């Protein structure tokens, strides 16, 4: 790797390589050597910028968590527009991209990574927990606008939506396989059907 390359550029190169390995070969194949080989750089490059491999993986997960902030802002901006079910369908589809689903599997499979994330005060299952917060905040806005029932339990609804969507996207038959990706992303209709079922009793229908 050329000298003088900005640290952030190195991080992004290594993160991108890790995501490609994760998607192609699954969590068990993700090693420091696999990442540096994929990135086309010497193994020592990773260890010059990160204390160890679990520290590198923790930074990868934290980087993905930060991206949810932008998704959350876009979802909350959509409150009061379109349909509640349509907004939720798009948000869940964006949240559960192939990389995000694979990273959830990675976190579950590595004790050392989970320990590092706890040190960073990341609780629950990363990405799923932040996704639930994003959904509940949006639903609270819609409740304030009267588009869902005033007594709707937005936290419970958010957890249900996140859990159902994760199962749908991580399923080997209808979604992205956790260890290699031979499945396919679920059709939008399948996601919408799950959302509509979960939200059926709380969405307020306006009579014309």
Contacts of 32 (CB under 8 A, 6+ apart): 43, 46, 47, 53, 56
Q: How confident is the model at residue 172 (pLDDT cuts 50, 70, 90)?
A: very low
CA separation, residue 52 to residues 43, 58, 59, 113, 178 (Å): 12, 10, 11, 11, 24
Is residue 187 scored above 90 in pLDDT?
no
Q: Write down the pLDDT at residue 94.
A: 93
Q: Regarding predicted confidence, which is higher, 122 or 198? A: 198
Give the tens place of pLDDT for each residue, 50-83. 989 999 999 999 999 998 989 999 999 999 999 9
Mean pLDDT, range 145-163, rounded to an integer: 96
CB 203 within 8 A of CB 146: no
Give me the domains of the chain, ranges plus CATH numbers.
7-199 (1.10.357.10)
Token pair in block for residue 186:
């679920």
What is the average pLDDT score of the chain? Answer: 87
Give the tens place of pLDDT for each residue, 75-104. 999 999 999 999 999 999 999 989 999 999
């Amino acid at each position: 790797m050329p000298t003088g390359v900005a640290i952030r550029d190195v991080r992004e190169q290594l993160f991108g390589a890790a995501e490609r390995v994760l998607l192609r070969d699954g969590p068990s194949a993700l090693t420091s050597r696999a990442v540096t080989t994929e990135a086309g750089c010497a193994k020592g490059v990773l260890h010059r910028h990160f204390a160890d491999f679990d520290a590198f993986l923790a930074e990868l997960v934290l980087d993905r968590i930060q991206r949810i902030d932008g998704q959350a802002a876009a979802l909350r901006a959509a409150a009061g527009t379109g349909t509640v079910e349509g907004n939720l369908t798009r948000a869940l589809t964006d949240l559960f991209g192939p990389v995000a689903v694979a990273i959830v599997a990675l976190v579950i499979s590595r004790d050392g990574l989970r320990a590092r994330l706890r040190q960073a005060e990341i609780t629950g299952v990363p990405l799923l927990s932040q996704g639930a917060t994003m959904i509940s905040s949006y639903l609270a806005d819609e409740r304030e606008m009267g588009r869902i029932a005033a007594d709707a339990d937005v936290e419970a609804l958010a957890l249900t939506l996140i859990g159902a969507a994760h199962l749908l996207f991580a399923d080997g038959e209808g979604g992205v396989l956790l260890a290699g990706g031979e499945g396919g992303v679920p059709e939008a209709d399948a996601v919408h059907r799950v959302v509509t079922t979960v939200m059926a009793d709380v969405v307020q229908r306006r009579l014309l």
